[in-house]
């Protein structure tokens, strides 16, 4: 069971910002210092007829207890594939986790057997999918679907199981839970279905919750209520949340830190205020410039020129170079090393190093470049390693 975030609040021992006011609109910060999930140089590739798609190409980030990490970027940047890699749900073939580590509560889940991973999936880490209508099975009622994870991971049945199901539904503020658990998905509204998906994901008190654009299908008023609900659950349980979204408004309200992804890489990470006020990477700056501002009147909204590169045919150097207004020759030669700009604020851009490759540590520069692609004749060996 996850420790309550109330533990240690007195005296401010375990909180990075325990005295924070209600600055994000959904309650004070609940972030604690201990890291419960850490990705180290994670790489997930897909072998296709077009070539090797480097969907996740060296992603590293961490999540603390009680923290919400926002992962933003254009469609196809690798946000959802990273989440599925954490859950070990990559379809293989054609997908392979070819390298890196996923440290969950001190344990590398990539080293676990399928049976051991099945015990962690749903108990220690939960996931809220985008579309509740496809996430829920139309032929089973809510009681059956919420109760499945509880029955498997906690081994309860009978009235105890029913009580746990009702408790999970009440946690997501579903009224008359005793009656609604007998309903089928088509009998619920979109907002209620999304709450049921949330109830399934938190039913076994996970320490990490991955929310993959959970508000996409919701209207604005229901969206605000759902986000507030997630923050309330986080305050009650101390769960760390990875929130995948395109909406910077949600990031500003919901998240403590942000990781900006582009073409399978993390190009910048930092505190929400750092990213919004002083974005260091041109891509982060361009994304923020694309958000309409109510206080400004403009004839035409800003848009980033061009399209993201195909992940099976990435250009040499920085993948954002063809679309970047600050591009220099060095940007087309090598992917930039990670520069530390402050506490928890990093960015990968040659502009930070004055476009001078000689300022980069040779080992770090080599590590920043993409690993060599596995030859076609070696694919069965890769598949065997991933399966193990």
Q: What is the 3-state secondary structure (H, E, C) of 335-363?
A: CCCCEEEECCEEECCHHHHCCCHHHCCHH
Q: Does residue 91 lie within any of the structural domains? A: no
What is the mean predicted confidence (pLDDT) over 341-353? 90
Cα(200)–Cα(12) distance, integer angstroms = 32
Cα(32)–Cα(13) distance, integer angstroms = 9
Q: Does residue 142 lie within any of the structural domains? A: yes
Cα(201)–Cα(210) distance, integer angstroms = 9
Q: Does residue 255 lie within any of the structural domains? A: no
**Is residue 207 scored above 50 in pLDDT?**
yes
Q: Helix/strand/coil (H, E, C) string of the chain?
A: CCCCCCCCCCCCCCECCCCCCCCCCCCCCCCECCEEEEEEEEEEEEEECCEEEEEEEEEEEEEECCCEEEEECCCCCCHHHHHHHHCCCCCCCCEEEEEEEEEECCEEHHHCCHHHHHHHECCCEEEECCCHHHHCCCCCCHHHHHHHHHHHHHCCCHHHHHHHHHHHHHHCCCCCHHHHCCCCHHHCCHHHHHHHHHHHHHCCCCCEEEEECCCCCCCHHHHHHHHHHHHHHHHHHCCEEEEECCCHHHHHHHCCEEEEEECCEEEEEEEHHHHHHCCCCHHHHHHHHCCCCCCCCCCCCCCCCCCCCCCCCCCCCCCCHHHCCCCCHHHHCCCCCCEEEECCEEECCHHHHCCCHHHCCHHHHHHHCCCCCCCHHHHHHHHHHHHC
Q: Does residue 74 lie within any of the structural domains? A: no
Residue partners of 2: CB distance under 8 A and separation at least 6: 65, 205, 206, 207, 237, 238, 239
When the pLDDT of each residue in the chain is averaged and rounded to a whole number, the result is 82
pLDDT in tens, 39-60: 999 999 999 888 889 999 989 9
Residue tagged 């923020």 (tokens) = 288
Residue tagged 């006020």 (tokens) = 277
Of 150, 153, 146, nearest to 172 by C-alpha is: 146
Model confidence at 2, pLDDT cuts 50, 70, 90, reads: very low
Token pair belonging to 80:
């959802």
**Is residue 380 scored above 70 in pLDDT?**
no
Number of domains in the chain: 1
Of 359, 363, 361, nearest to 351 by C-alpha is: 359
**Is residue 181 scored above 60 in pLDDT?**
yes
Model confidence at 229, pLDDT cuts 50, 70, 90, reads: confident
Q: Does residue 139 lie within any of the structural domains? A: yes
**Is residue 190 scored above 70 in pLDDT?**
yes
Q: Does residue 188 lie within any of the structural domains? A: yes
Q: Which pTM was predicted? A: 0.82
Of 85, 107, 66, 119, nearest to 257 by C-alpha is: 66
Token pair belonging to 187:
């009998």
Q: Does residue 52 lie within any of the structural domains? A: no
Token pair belonging to 261:
């992804």
Model confidence at 295, pLDDT cuts 50, 70, 90, reads: confident
**Is residue 268 scored above 90 in pLDDT?**
yes
- Please, are residues 55 and 46 in contact by the beta-carbon 8 Å criterion? yes
Q: How far is CA 31 from the centre of its chain?
A: 17
Cα(202)–Cα(206) distance, integer angstroms = 6
Cα(72)–Cα(66) distance, integer angstroms = 19
Q: What pLDDT sits at residue 100? A: 92
Q: Which domain holds residue 160?
A: 133-205
Q: Does residue 236 lie within any of the structural domains? A: no
Model confidence at 236, pLDDT cuts 50, 70, 90, reads: confident
pLDDT in tens, 106-144: 899 999 999 999 888 888 998 988 777 778 889 999 999
**Is residue 313 scored above 60 in pLDDT?**
yes
Residue 325's Cβ-count burial label (10 Å; 0-12, 13-18, 19+) is exposed
């Amino acid at each position: 069971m996850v420790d309550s975030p109330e533990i240690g609040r007195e005296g401010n021992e375990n909180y990075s910002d325990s005295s924070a006011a209600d600055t994000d609109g959904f309650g004070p910060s609940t972030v604690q210092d201990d890291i419960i999930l850490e990705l180290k140089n994670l790489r997930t590739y897909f072998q296709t007829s077009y070539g090797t798609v480097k969907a996740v190409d060296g992603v590293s980030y961490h999540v603390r207890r009680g923290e919400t990490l926002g992962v933003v970027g254009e469609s196809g940047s690798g946000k959802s594939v990273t989440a599925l890699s954490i859950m070990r749900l990559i379809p293989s073939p054609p997908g392979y986790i070819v390298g890196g580590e996923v440290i969950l509560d001190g344990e590398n889940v990539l080293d676990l057997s399928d049976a051991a991973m099945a015990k962690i999936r749903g108990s220690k880490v939960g996931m809220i999918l985008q579309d509740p209508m496809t996430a829920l099975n139309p032929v089973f009622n809510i009681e059956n679907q919420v109760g499945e994870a509880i029955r498997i991971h906690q081994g309860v049945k009978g009235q105890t199981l029913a009580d746990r199901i009702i408790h999970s539904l009440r946690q997501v503020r579903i009224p008359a839970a005793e009656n609604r658990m007998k309903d089928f998905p088509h009998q619920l509204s979109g907002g209620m279905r999304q709450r049921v998906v949330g109830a399934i994901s938190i039913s076994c008190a996970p320490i990490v919750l991955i929310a993959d654009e959970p508000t996409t299908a919701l209207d604005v008023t229901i969206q605000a209520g759902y986000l507030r609900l997630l923050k309330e659950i986080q305050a009650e349980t101390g769960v760390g949340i990875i929130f995948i979204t395109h909406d910077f408004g949600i990031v500003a309200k919901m998240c403590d830190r942000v990781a900006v992804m582009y073409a399978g890489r993390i190009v910048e990470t930092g505190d929400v205020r750092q990213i919004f006020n002083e974005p260091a990477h041109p891509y982060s700056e361009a994304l923020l410039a694309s958000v309409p501002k109510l206080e400004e009147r403009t004839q035409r909204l800003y848009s980033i020129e061009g399209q993201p590169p195909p992940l099976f045919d990435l250009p040499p150097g920085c993948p954002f170079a063809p679309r970047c207004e600050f591009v220099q020759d060095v940007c087309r030669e090598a992917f930039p090393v990670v520069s530390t700009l402050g506490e928890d604020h990093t960015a990968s851009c040659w502009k930070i190093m004055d476009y001078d490759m000689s300022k980069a540590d040779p080992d770090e520069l080599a590590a920043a470049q993409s690993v060599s692609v596995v030859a076609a004749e070696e694919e069965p060996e890769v598949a065997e390693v991933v399966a193990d």
